[in-house]
Amino acid sequence: MADRVQVIFGDITQQAVDAIVNAANTTLQGGGGVDGAIHREAGPHLVWECRKLGGCPTGGARITKGYYLAAKHVIHAVGPIWQGGTAGEDELLARAYRSVFELVAQQDIHTVAIPSISTGAYRFPIDRAARIAVRETRLFLERHPQLTEVRFVCYDRANYDCYVAEVAEVMGKRSTEGAGGLN
């Protein structure tokens, strides 16, 4: 199972996979960070398709086409805004990952790239978010062999280091940092 997970530095908009995950807001209309970058790269058709979806609740996910992205699909996952850890944030983030993986299974997606959801503008602690992301990924991979590759795409060193550590601990995978990250 560990051979199906990678941690890389990179630009999620450039990942040539079946689906990339967008750290979206509830309106699905784009915003800053990863969300804004994905909307810019995908082009105006993504905005139009997202409008038709009518939003998404926190903890949920919706799927669209990838349009001008290298990925065929975008899975828009809405994570929680950090409020100190007392407002059910961990469960809402876990639910967002489970919603992503439900769509992966339904759409027969084999490769997916995932950013660190809720850790930017939503201020979820990176180490805590990485633990939840990797745990939910492992649970899904144990039951779904059709998902052949999960890439955690990190935009900075802090995210990268947290994800490398969590993948090593949860998946039993040692760091072989190099040209693309943890391989």
For Cα atoms 122, 128, 132, give the angle at the middle one, nearest 5 degrees. Answer: 100
At 123 the pLDDT is: 96
Coil, strand or helix at 182: strand
Q: What is the pLDDT of residues 57-105, one digit of tens each?
A: 999 999 999 999 999 999 999 999 999 999 999 999 999 999 999 999 9
- Give the Cβ contact number of residue 31 at 10 Å: 17
Of 35, 90, 108, 161, the catalytic one is: 35
Residues 9-23 have pLDDT tens digits of 999 999 999 999 999
For 69, the 3-state DSSP assignment is coil
Whether 102 and 95 have beta carbons less than 8 Å apart is answered as: no
Residue 154 pLDDT: 97
Reported pTM: 0.93
3 labelled catalytic: no
**With 60 as the cut, is the pLDDT of residue 178 above it?**
no
Could you give all domains of the chain from N- to C-terminal order, each with its CATH number? 2-171 (3.40.220.10)
Q: Residue 122's pLDDT is what?
A: 95
Encoded tokens for 99: 């919603």
